[in-house]
Amino acid sequence: AQSVTQPDIHITVSEGASLELRCNYSYGATPYLFWYVQSPGQGLQLLLKYFSGDTLVQGIKGFEAEFKRSQSSFNLRKPSVHWSDAAEYFCAVGQYNQGGKLIFGQGTELSVKP
Amino acid sequence: DTEVTQTPKHLVMGMTNKKSLKCEQHMGHRAMYWYKQKAKKPPELMFVYSYEKLSINESVPSRFSPECPNSSLLNLHLHALQPEDSALYLCASSQQEAGELFFGEGSRLTVL
């Protein structure tokens, strides 16, 4: 069955430090992959997406992610974290042959310390 | 205009009430979604409408009734809810099925 795993429930980084959030997926075909961010009490905002092509994708707010087929991973990175990046981050895989369903990972809560 | 607008932002209702959540998008998207999200959990898909027809119902209890009056509007009618139905209800739209989803801010529902 298709699944998405975010191994880290909670990560704390210092402001200005680099960040990597991990995401592993299980899917039989080439997946559509997404990273969303959610601030408390808010909806989800798309950070970036991978459909095909270049495996390193750039997103908004200085984020990037790299699709590695051999590792079934789609990790999110940012070279220098800002306090405003504190939020919940969700990785998701799209099932294009099942009518638009997105499978979300459990989320990683990011805290940023001064 | 790249927004998905949801109303109301907050709703408190008793178990015998009937209420509705509304969602609107003007991006020309042909797929619209309802998700339910409990605290500290990922969103869970409830319904998908594609070209104004219900294409996915994730075995949602009948006390939740979706409606898609036209390609821009999506409603979720609520009746005889339970306290465990209290959650953030998120509407989303996409240009096509399995494309990127654009989410609204959500409607925070509390059932007393």
pLDDT beyond 60 at B34 = yes
Kindly state the percentage of chain B with pLDDT values over 90: 81
Give the residue, A86 or A53, on which the prediction is more confident: A86
Q: How far is A34 from chain B (nearest CA, A)?
A: 8
Q: How far is it, in rounded angstroms, from Cα A102 to Cα B92?
A: 11
Using an 8 Å Cβ cutoff, are B105 and B91 in contact? no
- What is the DSSP secondary structure assignment for residue B107, as one 8-state letter? E
pLDDT beyond 90 at B98 = no
The per-residue pLDDT for range A2-46, each reduced to its tens digit, is 889 999 999 999 999 999 999 999 877 778 899 999 998 889 999
- The pLDDT value recorded for residue A97 is 62
- Peptide bond just before A31 cis, omega within 30 deg: no
B108 contacts in A (CB within 8 Å)? Answer: 41
- The pLDDT value recorded for residue B100 is 85
pLDDT beyond 60 at B1 = no
pLDDT beyond 70 at A91 = yes
DSSP letter string, B51-96: TTEEEEE-S--TTEEEEEEETTEEEEEEES--GGG-EEEEEEEESS
- The pLDDT value recorded for residue B38 is 95
- The pLDDT value recorded for residue A52 is 85
Name the residue with tokens 């750039």.
A58
With 0-12 / 13-18 / 19 or more C-beta atoms within 10 angstroms meaning exposed / middle / buried, residue A89 is buried
Cβ–Cβ contact B3 with A under 8 A = no
pLDDT beyond 80 at A1 = no
pLDDT beyond 90 at A95 = no
- The pLDDT value recorded for residue A111 is 97
Cβ–Cβ contact A13 with B under 8 A = no
Q: Residue A57 is inside which H or E element, if any? A: strand A56-58
B94 and A100: CB-CB below 8 Å? yes
Q: To the nearest whole number, what is the mean pLDDT of chain A?
A: 92
The per-residue pLDDT for range B39-86, each reduced to its tens digit, is 989 999 999 999 999 999 999 999 999 999 999 999 999 999 999 999
B40 contacts in A (CB within 8 Å)? Answer: 107
Q: How far is it, in rounded angstroms, from Cα B77 to Cα B98?
A: 25
B48 and A42: CB-CB below 8 Å? no
Residue of A nearest to B53 (CA): A99
Q: Write the CA distances from A35 to A5, A84, A103, B53, integer angstroms.
A: 13, 17, 11, 28
pLDDT beyond 80 at B31 = yes
A30 contacts in B (CB within 8 Å)? Answer: none
Q: Write the CA distances from A8 to A11, A59, A85, A89, B39, integer angstroms.
A: 7, 21, 16, 11, 17
Which of A32, A101, A107 has its CB closest to that of B45? Answer: A101
3-state secondary structure of A69: helix
